[in-house]
Amino acid sequence: MSDKKEGFFAQIKNQLITGVGIVLTTLGGVFIDEVKSFVGIESDEPQTEQVEVEHKQEVNVQGPTIVVNIPEQKEKVVTKTIIVKPKVKKKEKEEVIDW
């Protein structure tokens, strides 16, 4: 790299030359495409059409229905008698406190 500093106008000159080159390249490509279509030479690229696709988003708020089938069961009657006897507490010895 050179240590030479370019001036402000030299940088603008280089940018203008670059811009003109890009414009000429673009115009050349458009001109060639028009000449091909006028002569009848089609490009090898297949023509593609843009198709708009609608995206629908639906939300099922209700949710699925769940059906549970429970077969009938024969009722069994169970009869038991429970006798609860109260517990008898023994009398505690009275503590005698002698002062």
The CA-based dihedral angle spanning residues 83, 86, 87, 93, taken in that order and rounded to the nearest 10 degrees: -160
The residue among 61 and 16 whose pLDDT is bigger is: 16
Total number of domains constituting the chain: 1
* Position 31 in a domain: yes
What Rg do the C-alpha atoms of the chain give, in angstroms?
50
Provide the mean pLDDT of the chain: 79
Query: No. of H helices and E strands in the chain?
Result: 1, 0
* Position 81 in a domain: no
* Position 25 in a domain: yes
Over range 44-57, report the average pLDDT: 74
* Position 33 in a domain: yes
40 and 34 Cβ atoms separated by less than 8 Å: no
pLDDT digits (tens, 9 = 90+) for 57-69: 777 677 678 888 8
Q: Model-level pTM greater than 0.85? A: no
Boundaries of domain holding 15: 7-40
